[in-house]
Amino acid sequence: MSQDDGTKRTFETGATRDTAEGKIDYEGFLSPLVLERFGKYMHAHRVQSDGTLRASDNWQVGIPLPIYMSSAWRHFMDWWDYHRHIRPMGWHPKDESVLEDAICGLLFNAMGYLHEVLKARRNSAGE
């Protein structure tokens, strides 16, 4: 247990820290279930069509925005089809992994796109 007087927190052990007021709560904003499933999706897609394994951060070296957008739309359509019960051929109604993969693919493309936008802004600001 701790006490927070608005300027600092004091723990039972006597340790002190600044107050948590106004600080970003990443732990509260993110879901460990989603991050675990997304990590498994990303790991499974590291194997390329020629059988080689790409680095987990390979995407960070740069993918053009139009590629992210096209791929995001394909994943979104798969998700929407599933949501509307218009499942493409081969999708089994009980196969939730197909739905999860579609959402993970959309997350990847949205985050990759945002990564490129933020990277470009940082580079133009000279940071």
Task: State the average pLDDT over residues 23-51.
Answer: 95
For 93, residues 6+ apart whose C-beta sits below 8 A from its C-beta are: 87
Give residue 88's pLDDT.
61
pLDDT tens-digit profile of 40-92?
A: 999 999 999 999 999 999 999 999 999 999 999 999 998 998 888 776 656 66
In the numeric block, which tokens belong to residue 28?
A: 């509260």
pLDDT tier, 38 (very low <50, low <70, confident <90, very high otherwise):
very high
Q: Is the pLDDT of residue 119 over 60?
A: yes
Task: Catalogue the E-assigned strands of the chain.
Answer: 2-4, 8-11, 16-18
Q: Where are the domains of the chain?
A: 1-30, 31-124
Query: What is the pLDDT, as a whole number, of residue 102?
Result: 94
Q: What is the pTM of this model?
A: 0.82
